[in-house]
């Protein structure tokens, strides 16, 4: 099947794919955290809640790392003035 609209051109040295991947990973982690929160609220067994809260803690830590990496990529791009100038 042919695409009606082609993909926009990308710069050869653009950090965009990395940035896109970090944004997507961040969104997945937010979804995982939301699911874990809902699961913790529905659990009646305290030991199950502790396990779910532990998962939430780990997902939050991973989310913070991804957000930090995303901020670094965006800062580096702004500082270097990268962009398509072709």
Note whether 49 and 40 are within 8 A (CB): yes
pLDDT of residue 10: 59
61-86 pLDDT tens trace: 999 999 999 999 999 989 988 655 54
Position 11 scores a pLDDT of 60
Q: Is the pLDDT of residue 3 over 50?
A: yes
**What pLDDT does 86 receive?**
47
Cα 74 from Cα 43, distance rounded (Å): 40
| Residue carrying the six token digits 């030991």 | 47
The pLDDT value recorded for residue 5 is 65
Residue 58: predicted pLDDT: 97
């Amino acid at each position: 099947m042919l695409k009606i609209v082609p993909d926009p051109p990308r710069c050869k040295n653009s950090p965009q794919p990395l940035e896109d991947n970090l944004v997507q990973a961040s969104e997945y982690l937010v979804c995982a955290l939301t699911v874990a929160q809902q699961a913790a609220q529905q659990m009646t067994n305290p030991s199950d809640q502790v396990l779910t809260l532990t998962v939430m803690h780990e997902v939050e830590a991973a989310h913070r790392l991804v957000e930090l990496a995303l901020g670094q990529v965006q800062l580096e791009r702004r500082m270097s003035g990268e962009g398509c100038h072709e």
